[in-house]
């Protein structure tokens, strides 16, 4: 247990061990290798929490002599644990014209951030667009979004670890955990 914001105790319940996370990412790398071994791909990383996940995917592909380009875009809806309007930093979608694009995010929950990013990049007329997320959270999904590569499915709850955080905490965990709060 550790104190969280507003004097709320925070407990973590492990969902997936660090070994399971590493293994699942390796499985995703194998699928990405099969899909992109013969065509250059650009990774568009859309959240700070997704950077670690994207880095592992890129490392795995580079070990197989596939060298994706990497573009980092700050797109977010969360401020602490509050979901707000989608904010996307400046991006020129024309840079993706005719390119194969893999959008990488940490978690797909309501789907609004991914929906906004996908709408923006489609303006640039990429050749193909696929989406990879470490976690797909089903409860509360507001929009249908295509998820081509999913690390883990969870039903509901605030997930931390492997880049995902709660008010800046727990991002460094190698496992994935569910936040449980008590007053």
Report residue 96 CA to chain centroid gap: 19
Residues 6+ apart with CB under 8 A from 136: 107, 108, 147, 150, 152, 153, 154
pTM of the model: 0.88
State the DSSP code for 94: G
Q: Could you give all domains of the chain from N- to C-terminal order, each with its CATH number?
A: 18-152 (3.40.50.2020)
Helix, strand and coil percent figures for the chain, each rounded to 5: 30, 40, 35
Strand locations in 92-137, DSSP E? 100-108, 128-137
**Residue pLDDT, tens place only, 25-57:** 999 999 999 999 998 999 999 878 899 999 999
CA dist 65 and 109 (Å) reads 33
**Residue pLDDT, tens place only, 79-129:** 555 556 777 877 889 999 999 999 999 999 888 889 989 998 999 999 999
Angle between helices 18-36 and 51-62 (to 10 degrees): 60
């Amino acid at each position: 247990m550790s104190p969280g914001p507003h004097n709320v105790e925070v407990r973590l319940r492990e969902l997936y061990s660090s070994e399971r996370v590493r293994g699942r990412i390796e499985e995703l790398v194998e699928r990405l290798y099969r899909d992109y071994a013969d065509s250059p791909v650009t990774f568009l990383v859309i959240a700070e929490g997704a950077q670690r996940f994207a880095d592992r995917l890129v490392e795995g592909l580079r070990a197989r002599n596939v060298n994706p380009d990497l573009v980092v875009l700050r797109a977010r809806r969360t401020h602490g644990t509050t979901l707000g309007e989608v904010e996307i930093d400046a991006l020129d979608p024309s840079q993706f014209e005719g390119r194969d694009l893999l959008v990488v995010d940490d978690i797909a929950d309501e789907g609004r951030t991914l929906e906004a990013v996908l709408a923006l990049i489609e303006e640039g007329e990429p050749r193909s667009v696929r989406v990879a997320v470490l976690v797909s959270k089903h409860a509360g999904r507001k929009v249908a979004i295509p998820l081509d590569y999913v690390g883990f499915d969870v039903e509901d709850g605030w997930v931390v670890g492997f880049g995902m955080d709660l008010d800046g905490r727990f991002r460094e965990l190698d496992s994935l955990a569910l936040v449980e709060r008590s007053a």
